[in-house]
Structure 1
Amino acid sequence: MADEMVQRAQRFINTTYNNGATLGISKLEENGQTGWTVMYALTRALQYEMGISALSNSFGPTTLGKIGELYGKIDDSTAPSANFCRIIQSALYCKGYDGGEIDGTYNDRVKAAVTKLHQNMGVSTVYPGGSLWPKSTKGLFNMDAYVTVSGGSETIRSIQQWLNGRYLLRKDFYVIPCDGHHSRDVAKSMLFAIQYELGMADGTANGAFGPGTQSGLKLHTVSTGTTGVWARLFTAAMILNKRNVPFGDFTATVQSGVQTFQSFSKLPVTGKGDFQTWASLLVSYGDQSRKGTACDGVTMITPSRAAALKAAGYMYIGRYLSNPSSTSLPEKQIQPGELATIKGAGLRCFPIYQTWSRSADYFSYSQGCIDATNAIEWAKIHGFKAGSIIYFAVDYDAMDGEVTDYVLPHFRGVMRTIGENSAYGVGVYGPRNVCQRVADAGYAAASFVSDMSSGFSGNLGYPLPTNWAFDQISTITVGSGTGAIEIDNNIASGRDTGQGDFDPGMSRDDDLDTDLDKTAYRAPMLSDVRQYLGSIGVPETGGEGWTADNDWVTYNVVSTTEAFGMVMDADWLFTNLARTLKIRKALIQAPVLWELRKLNPLDALADEAVKAGLKDDASTGWGQIFAWVTIDARNYCMRQGIINGTPLTSSDTRAVWNNLQEPEYNIPSVAYLTIYNAYQLGIARPNLTTTAANTQALLARYNGTGPAAAQYGRELAGLYNVLENYNKLSRTS
């Protein structure tokens, strides 16, 4: 929503500073909406008016120091110019305060706004009156809120205001948000506050959980009856970790909350704010001297290492299902005989799946499906039993927006693939925010938390996830001699105990389809597809023929090149299905490519009729499948134990039809229908060696029965052969 005064502020910047050129920025959009772009422009304008030559978006030490040096404080007696004052007025409006008429006058309205700003910050006692001081000016020129926003907690806001009011005059403490939400800045301010109360001087206090801070906290256990600043700091830390206790004195209610927190975090349940409890509240890794009962690592568990781990009290070992590198970390992947060693030592193992997963662009729905398919395959090769939870890694500091846009779709793909095609469970490895959000979305049963990375924005300001199974807090070495092994030391909650027994395992089938080598084969494959289809009367565009309903139509919706491109873009999905079901992916590709190429206006009309409620069902989506056929096919595959799921009924017809609009649902349905068709034909389930005759029969049955279906089968058999030729080259190259 546009704000007229913010729009005036934007216009002031544009007209006064040569459309931003003077400030080294582009012209501001005069849309009346505040944001970082506007705040950066106002910061640069303030610097310009103070004579700072190197303008910057950052309101850093130079800007802060210059205000103190030139003015001490900013008010009607010190504001050096009308434009300087207009910048202050504009910033106030961008923060939601009445800055007057942006007329260059530090008048009573401006003073009242500054007074209100200081009250909201919690610093009105420190900075009484309507003058802006350097630190409150810095707080004005950013996007931090000083009122409760977006469902924030009033109790957390009171803590934020208290911290500001008590510590703002310390050298390295700056105004923190008062928005009712825990955050990175708030977490760091808590550490500064504790260091100040421990007596650390300015310059020594640094907001880090170092040896001095830890030693000091060991002398400040709080318990029932404790009052004063240490009780307030401790209860603040509890509240910031989403514990429902009152802010202030250490009461019986606080003691009960502490006991619950300690139990949840697997700390000794003392009911006191002892050092380990302080540590767990203040930093993600907590007390790194804690001894865990779980570990993970990239080193093979040999008998001597297993003995050393068991002697050190470890019970659960996390090991990697695969290693994408053939040279780096040669023992990262579970080695032959290793699980037998773990079992023989009376230990248990939980599986981890990770390839790259260290930047946002790795994650997507399709990559989640791929990872899940590979993880299922490797878990079976190693012999992990049904019910094992596989932890899929998010091994970087994912920003909250990246979790929304990349990580959650990725885990939706993981969950759908694991849930439909295996009896394994899904876990997530990553920072606290990642783990909690994936769990809240219903995509993970358990979390393996990368809490050693305490500086991650996804750990700072976030409590331990509600479904945590393993909490990674330190890297240590256990054992000596041949038993020495470096591990990540993890606290175990008991939510997942891994596997202590294993199936014999499977050999890896090297004859399964792989992703097409698109660099080498995409262009010649398209050329051969076009040539073949042209030879049977299906040109690059257009074409005419009979539909299954005996309607003569013109095929002019999708060209051969477009249909082929769509199939190639979904190659990952065809590959996944082929590997999971152990069939040739050309058997799925051929009907999908054909149906895409043969889309016609009558198909679109049928879809619209279903959407309007005029029809109950119609063949739809990439594979042009009816919902009722999909229901029969999926139910058959469920009964055979090929896929998991809840049996479908006729009442699900519309929901299934809607799902068929998604290629990720439609294409698997093509594969399941092909398996069901084998049953209907009374022939063997399709596999990697299905005969040419059976392949043609399955392709024909996709179109039904009768002469038209037989012709369909003959035509698609030729297309199958073209596709299979290049798929074969890819899997053998």
Structure 2
Amino acid sequence: MADEMVELAQQFINSYNVSGIPKVEVNGKTSWTVMYALTRALQYELGITSLSDTFGPTTLSTLQSRFGAQIDEQTRRDNVYRIIQSGLYCKGYDGGGIDGTYNGRTAASVAELKSDMGVGGAYPGTGLQPKVFKALLTMDPYVRVGNGTEQVRTIQQWLNGRYVQRREFFICPADGNFSRDVQKALVFAIQYEIGMSDDVANGRFGPGTQDGVRTQALLGLASADGAKQFVHLFQAAMRFNGWDVAFDGFYSGSLLSTVVDFQRFAQLLPTTGTADFRTWASLLVSTGDPSRAGTAADCITEITPARAQALRSAGYTTVGRYLTNANVTNPKNKKIQPGELANIVAGGLSVFPIYQTNGGDPEYFNAQQGATDALAALEAARGHGFKAGTILYFSVDYDAVDEEITSRVIPHFRGLVNRMNAYGSEYRVGVYAPRNICSRLAKAGLTEASFVSDMSTGYSGNLGFPLPKDWAFDQIATITVGSGTGFIEIDKDVASGRDVGQSQFAPRGPDTALDVPFDMSMRSGLTSGLVNYIVANGHDDWYRARSAAECIAKVLDMDALITGLARSFRMRKSLIQAVTFWEYQADFTDEAVDVLVEAYYNWKDAQAAWEQSPIGSPPTPPTVIRDDSSTGVAQIYGRTAIKARNHCIDADVISAPIQDPEDWRARRAVWDQLRNDDDYNVSTVALVHIHSAFLKGVTADRLSYSDADNVAVLARYNGTNEDAQEYGRRARDLYNIFEAYNAVVRG
């Protein structure tokens, strides 16, 4: 929503005719662009000739030398006042107008801002100190926002108030959310408490800080009163990592108990409940103490018998290996090699599979690529012999910022998961990525376990984010193991026990009988063949809304999905193509019936709501009751879909919960998805065919159906009466047209 005072602030910025101050859009919305422009305006007013977006040391020192300890009503610089007033409005405070004065409203808002930051005690009164000015010209919030908590915000304010007078400490957000800036502020605070000077403290958990923690900050129940500030900082670190502890400076029995829980969660064994170095490290940096032992590893190098023995002797029990090589020019040969899995198992190790092609390129991630990866990973895992239920870890090997996770990574994994589900949910989906990506994918319900790339300590997706709750492997250091022929470089991983890897394999070689993607160079011939059949057999009157060409275009646009379904369920893709093509002709009665069914379900919703709170008369049912209909691309009933899925679940073809086709809520959910999600609808075609074969007693291998088998299965798609038999024969004819082209491509 536009704010008229922010618009005035933007107009003020645009009043500068200075080359280093860009014009901004006057839209009433605050942004970094606006804050950067205000920063440049301030630099210009200070006489700085090289303007930049950064409020750095030069801007800060010039501000201090020009105006002293604070800006107030005595400063008397109209445009500097306007910059302050504009910044206040952009921050959501009353600037007192943008009139170039430091009036009472302006002064009161500055005092309120400092209170929200937590620096009101350090900077009393209504003057604007240089560090507060710097914080004012950022997008950092100082009130609780989003999922922020008051518990975290209290600590942020405490840090700001206690340490803001130190030279290198700058005001951190006070919004109740842990972030990389807050983590850096916490490390600064630890450095100050262990005695580092302003010339040494840098906000990084380096060797000097680590030594200081080891010698001065080891805490437990017997901690002396003089350690109170260290206890405060330890409690802050615990809270920032999502653990509910008091912030009182006392190492109580309750704190010790919660620390034990954290140590157990992070696999800091044995658990002691004390704030020892390894616990501090795990709270402050993504790797934790990288020298701690790991029982898992991942590597790009083939594991020979000698290397397997070296790894086992070094205490490793599980190893991550790659399903495929990267899809790039001259890729490294890092995939599982022939006979390697047998060598690993013989050496006493288990394996967890990693799928990575080009996971380091942001452009790689999108829904279509996710769907493509699903089939590639599925077939690679099957080829190596990983059993059903194995977690496949799909790599996101770059530092995606939050917006990219939303726009790229989540759609990629949604496409991946939807396609894996369509192919039968044989394998479970995990992710290899920085902490923020792992947590957001888990929260979205798209992954079941995380392999955390914590070794990338500088990634924004690791800084300021706690260890994901679903972590299975935590990558903490690159090391070497063994010597001679057993020598190998690995990434050392800590294992949570969530995934113990696989140690039994049943490899499946390439199956040349399976269908492959359609050769689009043959599209014209296929289209002509289908159109000729439709016309020659007098079926062209069926196509009231769509032509045959439009229908074949729909089928070929979905070729990747249909090919994957055919390969996953070992059936001819022509079975799926034939009915999808025919049903997509969109009989004019179908949409009208769908409207009736939707009205029925809306009535059921209203009736259920009324039963929960029976006020007034119950909702009136529709005049015409239709509780199901054939819907979507391939015209499937909700009941038909549920029954087919239930059969395939019972037959271990797919993995999903059994549903009651007479439960209107379950039926509605399936019917809605059939109607609105083309991929789901066409995916269901394959399951209906499998169920139809069962109902008709067709027991032949699905890749070897006879003509009679095809007619029987296709007829059952339409029902059981004589019309269904005619449907089966017609669909068989269409099958044969598709199959003529599919057979050529598969060779």
TM-score where L is the length of structure 2? 0.87
Aligned: 1:499 with 2:486: no
> Residue 350 of structure 1 aligns to a residue in which SS?
strand
Counterpart of 1:581 in structure 2: which amino acid? F
Partner of 2:591: 604
Partner of 1:550: none
User: 1:427, CA displacement in angstroms?
Assistant: 2.6
User: 1:592, CA displacement in angstroms?
Assistant: 1.6
Equivalent residue pairs, number: 710
**Structure 1 contact 28–38 (Cα < 8 Å) conserved:** no
User: 1:480, CA displacement in angstroms?
Assistant: 0.7
User: 1:284, CA displacement in angstroms?
Assistant: 0.6
CA gap of 1:478–1:106, structure 2 versus 1, over 3 A, is same
CA gap of 1:270–1:727, structure 2 versus 1, over 3 A, is same
**Structure 1 contact 622–666 (Cα < 8 Å) conserved:** yes
Mapping for residues 295-314 of structure 1, pairs under 5 Å: 295-314=297-316
Partner of 1:447: 450
Counterpart of 2:264 in structure 1: which amino acid? S
Mapping for residues 114-129 of structure 1, pairs under 5 Å: 114-129=110-125
Partner of 1:251: 252
> Residue 42 of structure 1 aligns to a residue in which SS?
helix
Mapping for residues 21-40 of structure 1, pairs under 5 Å: 23-29=21-27, 32-40=28-36
Counterpart of 2:560 in structure 1: which amino acid? W
Partner of 2:207: 211
Aligned: 1:555 with 2:544: yes
Partner of 2:629: 618
Partner of 2:610: none
User: 1:545, CA displacement in angstroms?
Assistant: 2.2
**Distance in 2, Cα, partners of 1:49 & 1:230:** 42
CA gap of 1:594–1:528, structure 2 versus 1, over 3 A, is farther
**Structure 1 contact 678–685 (Cα < 8 Å) conserved:** no
Cα deviation per residue 1:529-562 (whole Å; 9 max; x = unaligned)?
44334424569xxx9625xxxxxxx612x45554
Aligned: 1:59 with 2:25: no
**Distance in 2, Cα, partners of 1:136 & 1:538:** 79
**Structure 1 contact 366–573 (Cα < 8 Å) conserved:** no
Partner of 1:583: 571
Partner of 2:687: 672
CA gap of 1:57–1:722, structure 2 versus 1, over 3 A, is farther
Q: 1:487 aligns with which of 483, 487, 490?
A: 490
User: 1:98, CA displacement in angstroms?
Assistant: 1.5
Gaps of 5+ in 2: 601-624
Mapping for residues 282-681 of structure 1, pairs under 5 Å: 282-325=284-327, 331-416=333-418, 418=420, 421-500=424-503, 502-516=504-518, 521=521, 524-525=522-523, 527-536=524-533, 545=541, 555-556=544-545, 558-560=546-548, 562-596=550-584, 598-613=585-600, 614-648=625-659, 649-651=661-663, 652-661=666-675, 662-681=677-696
**Distance in 2, Cα, partners of 1:570 & 1:71:** 67
**Structure 1 contact 660–666 (Cα < 8 Å) conserved:** yes
User: 1:354, CA displacement in angstroms?
Assistant: 2.2
**Distance in 2, Cα, partners of 1:532 & 1:44:** 68
User: 1:666, CA displacement in angstroms?
Assistant: 0.5
> Residue 145 of structure 1 aligns to a residue in which SS?
coil
**Distance in 1, Cα, partners of 2:24 & 2:104:** 33
**Structure 2 contact 22–37 (Cα < 8 Å) conserved:** no
**Distance in 2, Cα, partners of 1:354 & 1:432:** 18
**Structure 1 contact 675–686 (Cα < 8 Å) conserved:** no
Counterpart of 2:9 in structure 1: which amino acid? A
TM-score where L is the length of structure 1? 0.89
Q: 2:155 aligns with which of 159, 163, 169?
A: 159
**Structure 2 contact 156–172 (Cα < 8 Å) conserved:** yes
CA gap of 1:675–1:258, structure 2 versus 1, over 3 A, is closer
Partner of 1:551: none
**Structure 1 contact 478–486 (Cα < 8 Å) conserved:** yes
- Of all paired residues, the percent bearing the same amino acid is 51
**Distance in 1, Cα, partners of 2:44 & 2:553:** 54
**Structure 2 contact 426–654 (Cα < 8 Å) conserved:** no
Q: CA RMSD in A?
A: 3.0
CA gap of 1:562–1:188, structure 2 versus 1, over 3 A, is farther
User: 1:321, CA displacement in angstroms?
Assistant: 2.2
**Structure 2 contact 7–26 (Cα < 8 Å) conserved:** no
**Distance in 2, Cα, partners of 1:324 & 1:689:** 35
> Residue 688 of structure 1 aligns to a residue in which SS?
helix
**Distance in 1, Cα, partners of 2:253 & 2:352:** 40
**Structure 2 contact 326–332 (Cα < 8 Å) conserved:** no
User: 1:571, CA displacement in angstroms?
Assistant: 2.5
> Residue 92 of structure 2 aligns to a residue in which SS?
coil
Gaps of 5+ in 1: 547-553
**Distance in 1, Cα, partners of 2:303 & 2:76:** 70
CA gap of 1:538–1:56, structure 2 versus 1, over 3 A, is farther
**Distance in 1, Cα, partners of 2:740 & 2:52:** 59
CA gap of 1:680–1:242, structure 2 versus 1, over 3 A, is closer
**Structure 2 contact 319–351 (Cα < 8 Å) conserved:** yes
**Distance in 2, Cα, partners of 1:514 & 1:533:** 20
Mapping for residues 165-180 of structure 1, pairs under 5 Å: 165-180=161-176
User: 1:92, CA displacement in angstroms?
Assistant: 0.5
Deviates more, 1:293-302 or 1:245-254: 245-254
> Residue 127 of structure 2 aligns to a residue in which SS?
coil
**Distance in 2, Cα, partners of 1:136 & 1:79:** 18
